[in-house]
Amino acid sequence: VSLPTDPDRPKGADTVRISVHAGGGVYDVLIGRALSHLGEEMARLGLLREGGRIFIGHDDALPASTIEAVAGPLAKAGARITTAGISASERGKTIRGIEPFLAQLAHSRHERGEPVIALGGGIIGDLVGFAAAIYRRGVPVIQVPTTLLAMVDASIGGKTAVNLEVDGNLMKNLVGAFHQPRLVIADTALLASLPSRQMRCGLAECIKHGMIGAEFGEAALLEWIEQNAESILARHPGALSELVARNVAIKAAVVAQDEREDADKGGRALLNLGHTFGHAVETVESALPEGESTPGIQHGEAVALGLVAATHCAEAAGLCDTSLRWTQRITSIVQRCGLPIRAVGLPPADEIFARMTHDKKVRGGILRLVLPVAPGRAELIADPPREAVIAGIRSISARS
C-alpha cells in the first residue's frame, strides 16, 4: 500500500486503494477523493450498465448533497436508481426494521446480480448489508460509509447484522450473515457533515487499531495519531485520508488473517480490545463522560474508556512493562483526541466487574480480556486476576 505522507496534501490529490482478501475473493477499498471513481469502479465490476437497476439505502439524516453525489453520476451513466431513506437507530436495526426495505427492493423489481449501495454509518451498513445478504439469497453490496467508524471498521470485513429483542432486551447484532462487499468507497469529504462527537467516537477505534497495529504492519499508527490529532479533529483532508488508509490497512490485514473470528488467539478477537470494559460502562444509563453534560455514554466514548481501563489492568497484572509509562501515554492520546478518560456516575467497581463477566466474550464462565502487552501489541488473556480488572475499572471511575 502506498500511502500519502503529507497531512497538508492538497484536496484532489490521489486516492489510495487497498485490497481486502476475504470470502474467497478480493475487493478494493478506495480512500480519499473516492466518490468520483464510483461509476468507473462499478462499471469495471460489471455492476453499472445502461438500464440496469441500482438500489441506494441511505441514512435519512444525510445532507441531500451526499445522496446526490452518489446517485447523480450513476443516473447520468444510464442506470435506473431507486433511493430509500432509513433512520439510523439501534431500535430500528431489527428484522422488523429491515422488512419495509426488503419490500421496497421487491417493489422496484430489483433482480439478482443488481447492486445495492449502503450509504451511511455502521447502522445503515449493517442493516442494508444484511438485507443485501438475504434478498433473493444475496445481491451484490457496495459500502459507501459516511462516519469515521464505518470507514475504518464497519464497512470492511463483510459482517452484517441486525439486533434482536429477547425478553425486552435488545441483543446487539445477534442475527446476521457474512456478506463481503464488492467495493468500498471511503470518501473522506463525506465526513464534513458528521457531528464532532461522532468524529471523536470513530477516533477511539483508530486508537484501538494503533494499540494492535504492530501485528498488522502498522507499528507507527499510534504515534502518528498522537502527532496529528489536531489536524484530524480539524478534518484536514490529507490527515483524514491518511488516517482512514492506515486504519483500513489494519482492518484488511485482520480480516485476511481471520475472516470469521474463529482463530483461537489473535485475529479478529483482538479488535475487542477495550470493548469488554467499554460494554460494561456503556450500558449504565446514569453514567456520563467526565466533562460532558448530555447523559449517556456513546459507544466510541465507552471504547476510549475501555482502552484506558484495559491498559491499567494490563499494568496491574504485570503484563506490560511499567517503565514504558504505557498508561500515561494511552491516557494522553485519548485526551488529545477529545475523548473521555473517566466517567461520572458509574456503580461500584464490583458491579462493573459482574457486568463484564456477563459479556459475550465469557466462555465457560471464564472472563477473557484482550489486554495490551507492549506498544502496538495485545493478547487475549483468559482469567485475568480479579484485582487487576478492578484496578482497571477504578482508573476510569470519577467521583460524581
Ligand X SMILES: NC(=O)c1ccc[n+]([C@@H]2O[C@H](COP(=O)([O-])OP(=O)(O)OC[C@H]3O[C@@H](n4cnc5c(N)ncnc54)[C@H](O)[C@@H]3O)[C@@H](O)[C@H]2O)c1
Residues that bind ligand X (CB under 6 A): 59, 61-62, 88, 90, 93, 120-124, 126, 146-147, 149-150, 153-154, 157, 159, 172-173, 190, 193-194, 198
Q: Is 37 a known active-site residue?
A: no
Q: Is 325 a known active-site residue?
A: no
State how far the alpha carbon of 40 is from the alpha carbons of 16, 59, 67, 73, 362, in Å. Answer: 15, 24, 18, 10, 46
Q: Is 368 a known active-site residue?
A: no
Residue nearest to ligand X as judged by C-beta position: 122
Q: Is 268 a known active-site residue?
A: yes
Q: What residues form DSSP beta bridges with 99? A: none
For residue 390, give every residue at least 6 positions away whose Cβ sits within 8 Å of its Cβ, in sequence order, or none.
349, 350, 353
DSSP state of 150: I
Give pairs for 176-179: CB < 8 Å, separation 24+.
176/126, 176/130, 176/133, 177/130, 177/133, 177/134, 178/23, 178/133, 178/259, 178/260, 179/129, 179/130, 179/132, 179/133, 179/138, 179/141
| Cα end-to-end distance, the chain, whole Å | 47
Alpha-carbon dihedral 92, 96, 98, 100, rounded to 10 degrees: -110
Q: Is 358 a known active-site residue?
A: no
Instruction: Considering the candidates 93, 299, 355, 368, report the single residue annotated as catalytic.
Output: 299
Nearer to ligand X, 124 or 308 (CB): 124
Nearer to ligand X, 124 or 344 (CB): 124
Instruction: Considering the candidates 223, 226, 261, 292, report the single residue annotated as catalytic.
Output: 261
Q: Is 76 a known active-site residue?
A: no
CB of 105 to ligand X, least distance (A): 20
CB of 5 to ligand X, least distance (A): 26
Nearer to ligand X, 172 or 394 (CB): 172
* Cα–Cα dist 218/239, whole Å: 16
Determine contact, residues 130/160, Cβ cutoff 8 Å: yes
Nearer to ligand X, 158 or 213 (CB): 158
CB of 154 to ligand X, least distance (A): 3
Q: Is 251 a known active-site residue?
A: yes
Nearer to ligand X, 125 or 384 (CB): 125
Q: Is 197 a known active-site residue?
A: no
CB of 302 to ligand X, least distance (A): 12
Q: Is 272 a known active-site residue?
A: yes
CB of 399 to ligand X, least distance (A): 30
Catalytic residues: 137, 159, 205, 251, 261, 268, 272, 275, 279, 299
